[in-house]
Amino acid sequence: MDRLRDPSAMLYAVLHGLDGGVIVLDPALRVLAWNAWMERATGRCAGDVLEGELKAVFPALPESRVQVAIDDALTTGAPAVLSHTLNRFLFDLRRSDGTPMVHNTTVRRIDAGGGPLCLIQITDVTVQAERDRFLRERREARYRAVVDTAPDAIVTSDVTGRIQWINRSAERQFGYTAAEAAGMPIATLLGDAADGWLSAAGRPGEAPFEGTGRRKDGSVVALELSVAPWTAEGTGFVTGILRDITERKRVQADLQRALEHKSLLLREVNHRIKNSLHLVSSLLSLQLRGITDERLRHHFRDAIGRIHAVARVHGRLYQTERFQSVELSAYLSGLCDDLISASGGASACTLRLDAETVELPIDIAIPLSLVANELITNAVKHAAGRPVTVTVTLRSAGSDLEFAVADDGPGLPPEFDLQRSANLGMRIITTLTRQIGGTVRAERRVPEGAVFRISLPLSQVAVGGA
Amino acid sequence: MIDLDELEHDALAELVNMGVGRAATHLSRMIREQVSLSVPSVRVVARDAAVQALTRSGPSPFVAVSQSFEGRFSGRALLIFPEVNSLELVRAAVGDDHDLEEIVDLEQEALTEMGNVILNGCLSVIANALHESLDISLPSVVRGDGPTVLLGPVRPEPAAELVLLLYIDFSVRSRNIRGYLALLMDLPSLNALRELIHRFISDISIEARRGPTA
């Protein structure tokens, strides 16, 4: 029992039973302790080593980090850890099977009463390092199988945008090897789109966006980027899938060009129709010169005015970007200006236009513009030399579009019946109104004048509908 | 709250710069690349102000290497990095030929050791210059937000603890990485440190008067 209680015998047994290396050095770096674990790991028994200098066992010692750590520990008491990650095989140690031992080391000062000593402890981490490597490789093999066969480039950066890793498709797409790319800022690959990359990093679930990539050789590639942030063991990363959409872009550009070409043709067609109609009206005007019969002249002028009204619609069609619809208020404003100047100046006639902005399909717009032409022309014509004020309104009222032409002229004759009128103008008005699904009413105004109201169901006139 | 006067401030900055200079030499040798470390500024602030400065500085979380020291002045020394920079630091240390997975695995240990070298550099230079012996613990790694790394996961009672807060700039393999160096001490420790600094300053003045031949 007494022998067991001998503390120094017990400590001796512990020292040699420890599952780690223990070396104690004095300030002259002579070995004072060398446990059984060290004997096994170095193949040098304590008897050979004790009292000798440590560098006799490890000749590389004076050049190594251990020397600094020992000096620090002895002089200032600052302990040091020396990890295998930064100091591979610091000491030349072997495992029992003869393979090199991966080890971690700590160096610290101890005080045994007679001044400072240096304690070096060594642990064998070969198994852990192997296991880490194995786990890493297995982890990697699994996702490499996915990402390296992916047709799209996949890039991972840290949250500051420094590239950590790229897949094979990315290597091919950008011309950098994964080793070259590691550590590069993402802007090297993405240019301005790098901003989108970093902002997507802060917002999970961001929609894909487009950008331009830059290859190593300086050429560019159109990309669609799907970027998402993620976290591994507390560290944030950003991974993006960079799809090459150069081909898609090219097809888009072709389509766009085809569309522009079509627009150009339509504009050209409308221009020619307008010119042809003007030509027709010019021919009629020439013919008019030779006619002296006032009734015939009248009919000619009406026909010319009607052709102008249709030509004006085509004129608007090629002047705007739309080819299948006309904005009626702008059209009416132009028509009113024309009719004023044709009627001999503003002194004889005042035209007031109060029109909402209404977009109408062309097959409604042409008949309605002819109706408008008839109504306004009539109002001006029947003023019988007196100054007259004609008010043209266009507005939506409930489910209808209402177009009205009011004047303060002599008013309608007592026997007037719109539906039975043999007058061409009135027939044009009723026929065309019916054709576009509308109704027309003529009313007398108090004290004098007349108003014609055209109602069209809005559902009938919607652009793109009917 | 104590303020260091200009002389004390300069002496302390000088000591810390000597410390990180020494650490840089060791790091350079360790990773076989030129490492330069510099400490552009030194401030003494209350603990809460240090937490705020850290939180304001940029992205959370942080990773810190921590070592305690005891002696005439006692406390805790911390090397703190935004976590986004710590991987970069490790990559800079171990080289570019490691892939991401490997670096994530190496990070903890490599960072512990690099932090250890830098903190030891500072602590031992300060201790040597002030002719003091310090009992210094082994390093450990803390992760978390500003308060967690500065105050520890178990927050102590609000005490008048002060923080000597320094920026530290790393430059290695053409990368520049900024972190913090923080020495947490209570008021008596900081006063003790201040006294020692005064003695250090007067020693230097005496040596200077004696001239270089002495």
Q: Is B132 on the interface with A (CB under 8 A)?
A: no
CA–CA separation, B58 and B70 (whole Å): 31
Does residue A32 register a pLDDT over 90?
A: yes
pLDDT averaged over every residue in chain A: 85
Tell me whether 0.90 is exceeded by the ipTM: no
Quick check: A175 and A214 in contact, CB under 8 A? no
Quick check: A377 and A346 in contact, CB under 8 A? no
- pLDDT tier, B190 (very low <50, low <70, confident <90, very high otherwise): confident
Secondary structure of residue B93 in the 3-state scheme: helix
Higher confidence at residue A174 or residue B94?
A174
Query: Cβ contacts (< 8 Å) between B101 and chain A: which residues?
Result: 136, 139-140
In angstroms, what separates the C-alpha of B183 from chain A's closest C-alpha?
Answer: 15
Rounded average pLDDT over A389-406 = 89
Higher confidence at residue A367 or residue A323?
A367
Q: Is B112 on the interface with A (CB under 8 A)?
A: yes
Q: Is B136 on the interface with A (CB under 8 A)?
A: yes
The amino acid that residue B205 corresponds to is S
Q: Which of B59, B105, B137 sits opposite A132 (nearest CB)?
A: B105
CA–CA separation, A30 and B126 (whole Å): 28
Q: Is B117 on the interface with A (CB under 8 A)?
A: yes
* Contact state of A79 with B94 under an 8 Å Cβ cutoff: no
At A51-99, the pLDDT tens digits run 999 988 888 888 788 888 898 888 888 899 998 888 777 888 999 888 9
The residue whose two tokens read 């990402």 is A147
Which residue in B has a C-alpha nearest to residue A143's C-alpha?
Answer: B101
In angstroms, what separates the C-alpha of B99 from chain A's closest C-alpha?
Answer: 7
Give the distance, in angstroms, between the CA of residue A223 and the centroid of all CA atoms in the same chain: 11
Best CA proximity match to A64, nearest among B30, B38, B5? B30
What is the model's pLDDT at position B153? 61
Higher confidence at residue B95 or residue A176?
A176
At B103-132, the pLDDT tens digits run 777 788 888 988 998 898 888 888 888 888
At B157-186, the pLDDT tens digits run 555 478 888 878 877 766 777 788 888 888
At B23-62, the pLDDT tens digits run 888 888 777 778 888 877 778 888 888 888 888 876 668 8
What is the model's pLDDT at position A344? 62
What is the model's pLDDT at position B214? 40
Secondary structure of residue B160 in the 3-state scheme: coil
Least confident of A39-48, A191-200, B95-104: B95-104
Q: Is B42 on the interface with A (CB under 8 A)?
A: no
Q: What percent of chain A has pLDDT over 90?
A: 24
Rounded average pLDDT over A400-418 = 86
CA–CA separation, A281 and A288 (whole Å): 10
At A274-301, the pLDDT tens digits run 899 989 989 998 999 989 998 899 888 8
Q: Which of A76, A78, A86 sits opposite B93 (nearest CB)?
A: A86
Does residue A175 register a pLDDT over 80?
A: yes
Query: Cβ contacts (< 8 Å) between A233 and chain B: which residues?
Result: 104
- Where does chain B show beta strands of DSSP type E? 35-38, 42-46, 62-70, 75-82, 135-136, 140-144, 162-172, 175-185
Does residue B18 register a pLDDT over 70?
A: yes
Q: What is the pTM of this model?
A: 0.56
The residue whose two tokens read 């920079």 is B85
Q: Which of B104, B113, B134 sits opposite A83 (nearest CB)?
A: B113
Q: Is the CA virtual torsion A95, A99, A100, A103 positive or negative?
A: negative
B positions 66-85 inside 8 Å of A (CB): 83-85
At A429-460, the pLDDT tens digits run 999 999 989 999 988 887 888 899 999 988 87
What is the model's pLDDT at position A465? 39
Q: What percent of chain A has pLDDT over 70?
A: 94
* Contact state of B123 with A65 under an 8 Å Cβ cutoff: no
Query: Cβ contacts (< 8 Å) between B83 and chain A: which residues?
Result: 234-236
- Domains of chain B, with CATH numbers? 6-208 (3.40.1550.10)
CA–CA separation, A191 and A437 (whole Å): 58
- pLDDT tier, A117 (very low <50, low <70, confident <90, very high otherwise): very high
Q: How many CA atoms lie within 13 A of A308 on its CB side?
A: 22
Mutate to test the interface with A, among B33, B98, B101 (most CBs of A within 10 A): B101
- pLDDT tier, A398 (very low <50, low <70, confident <90, very high otherwise): confident
Q: How many CA atoms lie within 13 A of B41 on its CB side?
A: 8
Quick check: B142 and B67 in contact, CB under 8 A? no
Does residue B156 register a pLDDT over 60?
A: no
- pLDDT tier, B87 (very low <50, low <70, confident <90, very high otherwise): confident
- pLDDT tier, A230 (very low <50, low <70, confident <90, very high otherwise): confident
Most confident stretch, A46-50, A306-310, B15-19: A46-50
The count of CB pairs under 8 A between chains A and B is 111
CA–CA separation, A169 and A189 (whole Å): 14
The residue whose two tokens read 């000749």 is A59
What is the model's pLDDT at position B54? 81
Does residue A466 register a pLDDT over 50?
A: no
Query: Cβ contacts (< 8 Å) between A85 and chain B: which residues?
Result: 94, 106, 109-110, 113
Please state whether beta strands A235-244 and A349-355 pair in parallel, antiparallel, or not at all (unpaired): unpaired
Query: Cβ contacts (< 8 Å) between B153 and chain A: which residues?
Result: none
Query: Cβ contacts (< 8 Å) between A60 and chain B: which residues?
Result: none
Higher confidence at residue B133 or residue A426?
A426
* Contact state of B84 with A160 under an 8 Å Cβ cutoff: yes
